[in-house]
Structures are given as structure tokens and as C-alpha cells.
Amino acid sequence: MYTLNNLVVFWNHYKSQKFFSSVKDHFCTGASEFTSQNYRTMDTTSKGDHEEVKDHVSNGHADAKRSAPQDSSGEEIKRQKPNVPEGMSKREWKRQMKKQKREETKDEYRQKKKEKRKQARERRKERIREEGDANSNADSDEARNHHQQKRIKYNYEEQKKTGVRILMDCGFDDLMNEREIVSLSCQIARAYSAQRHCKHHLQLDITPFNKRLKQRFDEAIPQYNKWSTVNFIEGDSLENALPMDDPESMKKITYLTADTDNEIEELEAGHTYIIGGIVDKNRHKNLCADKAKELGINTARLPIGKYIKINGRSVLATSHVFELCCQWFETNHDWAEAFNAVLPPRKLHAASQTSSAQPETSEEATDLS
Ligand SMILES: C[S@@+](CC[C@H](N)C(=O)[O-])C[C@H]1O[C@@H](n2cnc3c(N)ncnc32)[C@H](O)[C@@H]1O
């Protein structure tokens, strides 16, 4: 005999079962038929219904995902296992496949990029024209920094020779990941471009130019072979490009680094300045300073704190340091103006954005690498 209590429990259980099956009957016309579109257009009467439908949809998708694909005859298509070569990790294989795909679509990608650049140029021209019409006073030019100004290209023959040599030390291939190598190659390209837009000429040598960096250039920037103003010196170490056995000549070489207390004031003709060709988000602190010390090369940092205030630490990107050296000549030896011209405005402390050469004592610094 059932007691009244038993009957109540049984009734509740029965009710809940019935409720769930009715909800299921109502919505479950087949997971694959239930798209997010009809979910959105469905007349959901209450939040409860809404949530249930949502659950159902996501479960439906999960189910659909789980069910194996079928061919036209209804046969199950077996998913093929990736053909990972022996001894290669799946991750590495995926990376190789991506690279291969990139290679295959390279021309199309370049074409699209070219198109986009052309459109951007057009838009920029249009904007400058509009700005010129609206504000034709000379102040507007002064307010813009050189990133926004129309830049003129100069031939090597037209450029004034400074007698300064910049040597980019690219002997850090093994310390960078693939993306960082790509970033460095772009920075070198930017440095080349910056040099072409200067009235002054600084000799730019890239060494050692080998391993993944060279590979990257060969694959993605093959036109570098025609850059007559940049010397790509293959070699296998920085030392190969230096007069290591001539102490007098070695005195005329300075390794630029943020990790020193010596501050540079001027760039001298007949002098070589080395810039570390590395993108490391400053993972490797003192790397270049230690290397210079080991090779017996003097070190110096740019006088950032003296002339401008910038947000953060003062480790700059390789291309920025090169551009700064160029701009120092372009601005008639005015560091403050050079910093303001090269560093992105967001990195500059508001107070320092006027090009006053008043020395600042702030040691705040920024990591623009
Ligand atoms: C991204 S930084 C490399 C940082 C690296 N951890 C190091 O040990 O130098 C690239 C290069 O730019 C130059 N550089 C960056 N900030 C500088 C600064 N404040 N003064 C002088 N050179 C700087 C250095 O030659 C440096 O090697």
C-alpha cells in the first residue's frame, strides 16, 4: 500500500518527467535543423523558455559537431589523420603548413596590400588637401610631426654625407622567435625608408646577415638586393665587421645601449655607432651592453631624459634609434626636435611635446621595442 507521502513524491516525479519531455518534443525537431537564425526569430515568451532554447541550440551544435560527416550515399566519412612527418611535432607541422599556405597566397596577399596602400595614400592626399583648404596657415604644418608630413625622397647623390656609419648588429637570431624576426626585418625596411627621406646620408650596414633574418628577407622582401644605400654583410659575427686588432680604430666605435650611464651628446663624423638589431621586449636586459664590454667597445645611451620626458622605460626600438640619428642631422643637431619627430606622440609626455631644447632631468623611460 502506498502512503499519501509516497503518492505525492511519485506525482511530483511524474510531473517533472512530463514537463521535460514536453519541452523536448516542442523544440527538438532535430539538432541540425535548429539554426541560430530560427532561434533568434522564434517567439520566445519568457526568459525561461529563452534560456532553454539557448541551451538546446548550443547542445544541438555540440551534437552536430560530434556526429561524423557523411557523403552523398550516407556513408560516414572518416576524418583523415594529419600526415605529420615522423620526428616532427604536431605544432611544428601546423606551423609549416601555415607557412606553406602563406607562400601559396603570397602574390594575392601582396596585391591586396598594394591596393590597400594605394587607397590609404589617396585618403591621405584627400585629407591633406582638405586640411590645407580649411587651415592654410603655417601653424598646421608645425603642429604635425614628420609621420604625417608629406615626405620627399632624396637620391644618394643629392644627400649631404655625414661621415657617420651606423652598424646594425644582427647577431641575435637565436634569441628571437619567428614574429620577432619578422618585426626586425620590418624595422630594417623602415630604417632604409627613413634614410631615403633624409637630406643627410648616414652609412647603414647590417651584419651578420644570415640565418632566419636573411631567409625572411629572401622570402618576403627580395627587393632588398636593390637597396644600394644599405650594405648587407653576411659574415657570421659582429667582430668580422670590426677592426678588432686596431685599438685606435676601435676607439671610434660606440655601441648604443640604454644600459649605460654614458650619455651621447653628438654624432661624430668618422665614427661608427652600433645599434642592437634585436626585438626582445627587453627580455634580455644588458645584452648589448655586456656584448660591447666583452668586445672592448665603448657604450653610450641617447640623451632622452635630458631633453624630453617620455612615459615608461627608455629602451627604444632598433629602427627608432636609427631614425633618431638621422633626425639629429635633419634638425640641425637638435635632440629634442629629433625625439619629438621620431617617437610616437602617445609615448611622449605632454610637457615635452613642444620642441624646446630645455634639458629635462626625468629618468622616466619607455619600452618602445
Ligand atoms: C630593442 S633594443 C634592444 C634591447 C636589448 N635588451 C639590449 O640589451 O639592448 C634595440 C637597440 O636599440 C638601441 N637602443 C635602445 N634604446 C636605447 C637608448 N635609450 N639609448 C641608446 N640606444 C638604445 C640599442 O642599441 C639596443 O640594442
Helix (H) or strand (E) holding 164: strand 160-169
**Nearest-CA residue for atom 22 of ligand 1:** 257
In angstroms, the first-to-last Cα distance of the chain is 83
Q: Is residue 176 part of a domain?
A: yes
Residue 277 forms part of a structural domain: yes
Strands 298-300 and 272-276: unpaired
Q: Is 338 helix (H, G, I), strand (E, B) or coil?
A: helix
The number of domains in the chain is: 1
Domain contains 251: yes
Q: Is 276 annotated as a binding residue?
A: yes
Q: Which of 256, 281, 308, 367 to mutate to test the pocket of ligand 1 (most atoms within 8 A of CB)?
A: 256
C-alpha to C-alpha distance for 276 and 289, rounded to whole angstroms: 10
- CATH no. for residue 347? 3.40.1280.30
- At 367 the pLDDT is 41
In a domain, 102, yes or no: no
Which long-range contacts does 133-136 make (Cβ < 8 Å, 24+ apart)?
none
Does 302 count as an annotated binding residue? yes
- Run of H or E including 204: strand 200-207
pLDDT value for 56 = 42
Q: Residue 75 carries which DSSP code?
A: P
Q: How far is CA 287 from CA 47, 57, 257, 271, in A?
A: 60, 55, 9, 22
Q: Average pLDDT across each block of 10 residues of the chain; the chain has 369 residues. List them in order.
A: 59 56 44 38 40 42 54 70 85 89 88 90 80 56 50 91 98 96 97 96 97 96 95 94 95 97 96 98 93 97 87 87 97 94 75 42 36
Question: 17-75: per-residue pLDDT in tens?
Answer: 554 454 444 444 333 333 334 333 334 334 444 444 344 444 444 444 456 667 667 67
Q: Give the pLDDT score at 151.
A: 76
Reading the block at residue 341, the C-alpha cell is: 619627430
Q: Is residue 320 part of a domain?
A: yes
Cis geometry, peptide bond prior to residue 208 (ω within 30 degrees of 0): yes
pLDDT of residue 9: 61
Each residue of 137-158: pLDDT tens digit?
A: 544 444 445 555 557 899 999 9
Domain-located, residue 327: yes
Q: Burial of 319 by CB count in 10 Å (0-12 exposed, 13-18 middle, 19+ buried)?
A: buried
Q: Is residue 162 part of a domain?
A: yes
> 267 among the known binding-site residues?
no
Question: How far, in Å, are 86, 239, 256 from residue 247 at the CA level?
Answer: 52, 13, 19
- Give Cα separations from 85 to 78, 81, 98 (angstroms): 20, 12, 15
CA-based Rg of the chain, rounded to a whole angstrom?
32
Domain hosting 309: range is 156-367
- CB of 61 within 6 A of ligand 1: the answer is no
Report yes or no on 343 lying in a domain.
Answer: yes
